[in-house]
Structure 1
Amino acid sequence: MNILPGQINGHNDLLEKKHRRDYQYLENKLTDDGHDTEELVRKIKALQVAIPSWALGTGGTRFGRFPGGGEPRNLEEKIGDIGTLHKLNRSSGAISLHIPWDIPDDPKAILDLAKDNDLVFDAVNSNTFQDQPRQAHSYKFGSLAHTEEAIRDRSIAHNLEVIKYGELLGSKSLTVWLADGTCFPGQQNFRKAFMRTLESLQEIYAGLPHDWKMLIEYKPYEPNFYSTVIQDWGSSHLLAGKLGNRAFSLVDLGHHLPNTNIEQIVALLIMEGKLGGFHFNDSKYGDDDLTVGSIKPYQLFLVFNELVEGIENPALSNPTPAWMIDASHNVKDPLEDLLQSVEAIKIAYARALLVKQHELEEAREQNDVVKAQELLQNAFRTDVRPLVAEARLRSTGALDPVGMFRELAIRQQLITERGHKTISTGL
């Protein structure tokens, strides 16, 4: 859908008076507290969060899926939807493809379309957890870790093919998530499965362009519920270390057991220079793939506190991670949900920028637990929404992206254009 600048300006004109009042109040407060609001706005504007091509349709569960209508029918329409998001929030300027769900038939035309929508291509993602039509070898019992060499070879070839598509689109990284594992004790030799995975990844790594990264994702369970080959950050980090300096761990917020201290994991991976990327979502019980920040906003803030401290610390050398949303829902409009998720990420980032890291470190060294907690919670309790909105306004985005999405009746227009029965590719 083509959103005209005049439409955004008209929307902002109605809200700007209140925004100016809210922003002025916050600016005065932050300035009195020693913050450079212009620098804060600059950093918030710069943060871009990639949208995965598979998140634009209504998600589902093992029990059912309820499409909401107007879902994108092909990659071209998915790019158009992400372009719409980016026009509204000016923070969704990248798309992450999952192959073979979204294979570009004409890479040059797809690249041109992305440029027309002011988008670039983020990491490309392989899929060896799902058998495809006419696939000769099944992934039922694994892929890169499979006991049969022919299936491992097929999995390796698929990842190398994904890299080739990524090169054509200007991507610079490959994300590998494996479902390989077991459902029952005795089903697999743990050590052999891990070594087969390493050997397979080594072949893929050898085919990685010199300026690319490999991001290795981990998950404790599902679809296998007794064991997973790459089950935690330790196994991911172990593989990345054995592969080389262009291999990194990727943290998905939902891929942890309940009550896991994710911020500690982030800190240690940054310390080792091995945090390659982030998949944002939220959860109550497990890998729920809920809207970012909807359940555990304080944890999200604490994660960003480690990210800000680690990335801006000159003594550390971790590259800037790749940011991506990885969520899928059955009950929400997926575009509205993505707008909410990006906003939650920017808010958590803005709050983390307010943490006085020097004072926090002093409190830690003096074992002043109360002072450390006060510094964190003062930043977390600050309503930074006017700051995030100002960054968006200065980037020609909408002051209220979800509100404008509804004002323009974008979902209704997509249903009119595409129909009620369209179902997007992906899970």
Structure 2
Amino acid sequence: MILDKSLLDQHNSQGNALHQKKYGLLASVLQDEGHNVNTILERLAAFQVAIPSWALGTGGTRFGRFAGGGEPRSLEEKIEDVGLLHALNQSSGAISLHIPWDIPQNPKAIQQLAASFELKFDAVNSNTFQDQENQDYSYKFGSLSHTDKAVRDQAIAHNVEVIRHGVELGSKSLTIWLSDGTDFPGQQNFRRSFARTLDSFEQIYAQLPADWKVFIEYKPYEPHFYSTVVADWGSSLLFCQKLGEKALGLVDLGHHLPNTNIEQIVSRFLMEGKLGGFHFNDSKYGDDDLTVGAMRPYQLFLIFNELVDGMTSSEIKNPELSWMIDASHNIKDPLEDLMQSVEAIMIAYAQALIINRPALEKAQLQNDATLAQEILQNAYRTDVRPLLAEARFKAGAALNPVGFYREQKIRKELIKQRGEKTYSTGL
């Protein structure tokens, strides 16, 4: 769906007076506090969050799935939806594909279509957590860690195929989430399972192009609840250190045990130069895959505090990060949910950018916990949404993306074009 630019301009014109009043007040305060507002706007404009192809339809639970209508029926329509998002917020300039859910049949045409929406391809994702049609061997008891070499070889070949698809599209990274694990004590030997997995990773790593990276994602439980091969950030880091400089850890915000200090994990990865990127989401209980910032916005801010500190510190030598969303919209319009998620990420980033870092460092050196908290919470409690709106306005996007989306009844138009009963590929 191609947006009518005149409707977007009309939307912005109607809301611009109030926006400028809010933005002017905030900009004045920030300048008085010593911030360069133009520099902040430039950083916000440059920050791009990749949209996963699997999140453009409604998700599901193990009990059922309730499609919302107008879902993209093909990879081409998924790209169109991401293009629509990017036109509305100018912060979603990349798409992350999951193979084999979204195998490009004509890579050149797909790349051209993405370029027409000013989109690039971020990390490509492999899938050895499901058995696919006509698959020779089952992953019921594991894939890259399986006791049977034939099964491991099949899983390795799949990852190599994913790399090939990524090369054709101009991607530069592979994400591996390994669901391998056990359900009962004694089911597998932990040491040997790790060794088999490392051997599989090494074979995949050897197939990476020179300018590529591989992201090793971790998860403490699910689908296996006794043990997981890559169960935590330490396991991920250990694999990455053994593999080499092109191997980096990937942090999914939902992949942690309750009350885990994720911001400290982020700091540790950055210290070692081994942070590859994020799958952003939120959770109440476990891997809920909720809208980013829906439950723990302060935690998200604290994570970005560590990220901004790491990205601006001369002491940290970490590669450029990949920012991706990984969410499941069981009852919400997926496009609205993704817009809200991107907004929440941008808010946390903007709040982290306005932290008074010299004052914070001084308070830390003086062990002044009260002042350090005041400095952080002053930034967190600042309503930075006018900054985001101004960055969008300058880029030609919508002042209020969700508001415009609803005003124009875009979901109804998608249903009209695609049908009420359409199902997107993915979970």
Q: TM-score range by the shorter chain?
A: over 0.9
What is the rounded CA distance, in whole Å, between the counterparts of 2:358 and 2:216 in structure 1?
33
Structure 1, unaligned stretches of length 5 or more?
none
CA contact (8 A) 1:266 1:275 kept: yes
AA of the residue aligned to 1:98: H
CA contact (8 A) 1:311 1:319 kept: no
Counterpart of 1:41? 41
**SS at 1:79 equivalent:** helix
Q: Is structure 2 residue 366 aligned with structure 1 residue 374?
A: no
Using the TM superposition, give the Cα deviation of residue 407 of structure 1 relative to its aligned residue in structure 2, in angstroms: 1.1
Using the TM superposition, give the Cα deviation of residue 121 of structure 1 relative to its aligned residue in structure 2, in angstroms: 0.2
AA of the residue aligned to 1:356: N
Map 1:3-402 → 2, pairs under 5 A:
3-402=3-402
Using the TM superposition, give the Cα deviation of residue 319 of structure 1 relative to its aligned residue in structure 2, in angstroms: 1.4
What is the rounded CA distance, in whole Å, between the counterparts of 1:241 and 1:420 in structure 2?
49
Moved over 6 A (4+): none
Counterpart of 1:420? 420
Paired residues in the alignment total 427
Using the TM superposition, give the Cα deviation of residue 384 of structure 1 relative to its aligned residue in structure 2, in angstroms: 0.2
Post-superposition Cα deviations, 1:162-212, rounded to whole Å, max 9, x if no partner, equal 000000000000000001001111111101111100000000000000000
TM-score, length basis structure 2: 1.00
Using the TM superposition, give the Cα deviation of residue 358 of structure 1 relative to its aligned residue in structure 2, in angstroms: 1.6
**SS at 2:3 equivalent:** coil
**SS at 2:323 equivalent:** strand
What is the rounded CA distance, in whole Å, between the counterparts of 1:126 and 1:238 in structure 2?
21
- Give the RMSD, CA atoms, in angstroms: 0.5
What is the rounded CA distance, in whole Å, between the counterparts of 1:275 and 1:71 in structure 2?
33
AA of the residue aligned to 1:374: E
AA of the residue aligned to 1:111: Q
CA contact (8 A) 1:45 1:91 kept: yes
Using the TM superposition, give the Cα deviation of residue 284 of structure 1 relative to its aligned residue in structure 2, in angstroms: 0.5
Using the TM superposition, give the Cα deviation of residue 25 of structure 1 relative to its aligned residue in structure 2, in angstroms: 0.5
What is the rounded CA distance, in whole Å, between the counterparts of 2:171 and 2:203 in structure 1?
20
Determine what percentage of the aligned residue pairs are the same residue: 66
Using the TM superposition, give the Cα deviation of residue 226 of structure 1 relative to its aligned residue in structure 2, in angstroms: 0.5
What is the rounded CA distance, in whole Å, between the counterparts of 2:421 and 2:336 in structure 1?
19
AA of the residue aligned to 1:305: N
Using the TM superposition, give the Cα deviation of residue 4 of structure 1 relative to its aligned residue in structure 2, in angstroms: 2.2
**SS at 2:95 equivalent:** strand
**SS at 1:224 equivalent:** coil
TM-score, length basis structure 1: 1.00
AA of the residue aligned to 1:123: A
**SS at 1:378 equivalent:** helix
Using the TM superposition, give the Cα deviation of residue 362 of structure 1 relative to its aligned residue in structure 2, in angstroms: 1.0
What is the rounded CA distance, in whole Å, between the counterparts of 1:357 and 1:208 in structure 2?
38
Using the TM superposition, give the Cα deviation of residue 359 of structure 1 relative to its aligned residue in structure 2, in angstroms: 1.3
Structure 2, unaligned stretches of length 5 or more?
none
AA of the residue aligned to 1:142: G
**SS at 2:337 equivalent:** helix
AA of the residue aligned to 2:387: L
CA contact (8 A) 1:145 1:197 kept: yes
Post-superposition Cα deviations, 1:373-401, rounded to whole Å, max 9, x if no partner, equal 00000000000000011011111100000
